[in-house]
Amino acid sequence: MNLHSLADESLSHVAAGWSMFNAENPQKSLAEAKRVLQDGGVLVASSWEETDWLRIVRVIKQIDPAREPPAIPEEWSKAPSLKLQLEAGGYRDVEVHKVPVDIPFASYTSFVDVMMTKVTQVAAASQDLSDEKKELMRNLMINEMRSICPLEPGILKASSLVAVGSK
């Protein structure tokens, strides 16, 4: 996260929804957020603990066992370790709240197609697969989705971690 266009101590709040853990250097992103926060300013940063959609994309291992599916880094996927990340970044009074999230979908195919083309981590993990293997991955993802939620339209489940800390 590069906030270079913002002046030091210019914001009362910074909200980073499901983004910090994707940064090349999350601690640098936390420092950049802290730089632009006023004294007493608040950072809110969220992450995923576990999600049905991450379970769905793990099928890529069935196509290529050496391929790593998208995942949330361990230090960002558990409440105690997420709290430590913010504290290591110099934030105080850090709290982490687990929030259940419903992810509604109209159909298996439309959901999987969006995941494969619009979700950056999924598209990147499968970009160099042949068309045949992409189609196999799509079908495996649909089958995994059916095993998690047997009815369509349906709702996938997730747990979001919302961390709040003060400068």
Using one digit for the tens of pLDDT, what is the confidence trace for 34-89? 999 999 999 999 999 989 999 999 999 999 999 888 889 999 999 999 999 999 99
Q: What is the pTM of this model?
A: 0.86
CA distance 40 to 133: 51
Q: What is the pLDDT of residue 124?
A: 87
Q: What is the mean pLDDT of residues 23-34?
A: 94
For all residues of the chain together, what is the average pLDDT? Answer: 94
Whether residue 1 has pLDDT greater than 70: no
Is 18's pLDDT higher than 90? no
Please tell me the least confidently modeled range out of 1-5, 32-36, 93-97, 153-157.
1-5
Say whether pLDDT at 146 is over 80.
Answer: yes
pLDDT for residue 108 is more than 90 = yes
Query: Which amino acid appears at position 97 of this protein?
Result: H
Cα–Cα distances (Å) from 1 to 82, 116, 147, in that order, read 17, 24, 37
Question: Has residue 12 got a pLDDT over 70?
Answer: yes
Looking at residue 19, its pLDDT comes to 87
Alpha-helical regions (H) of the chain: 26-36, 52-57, 60-63, 79-88, 108-118, 120-126, 131-148
Among 147, 140, 154, smallest CA distance to 69 is for 140
CA nearest to 112, candidates 73, 154, 158, 161: 154
Q: How far is CA 21 from CA 30, 76, 77, 127, 160, in A?
A: 10, 6, 9, 21, 13
37-51 and 11-16: which strand pairing?
parallel
% pLDDT > 90, the chain = 83
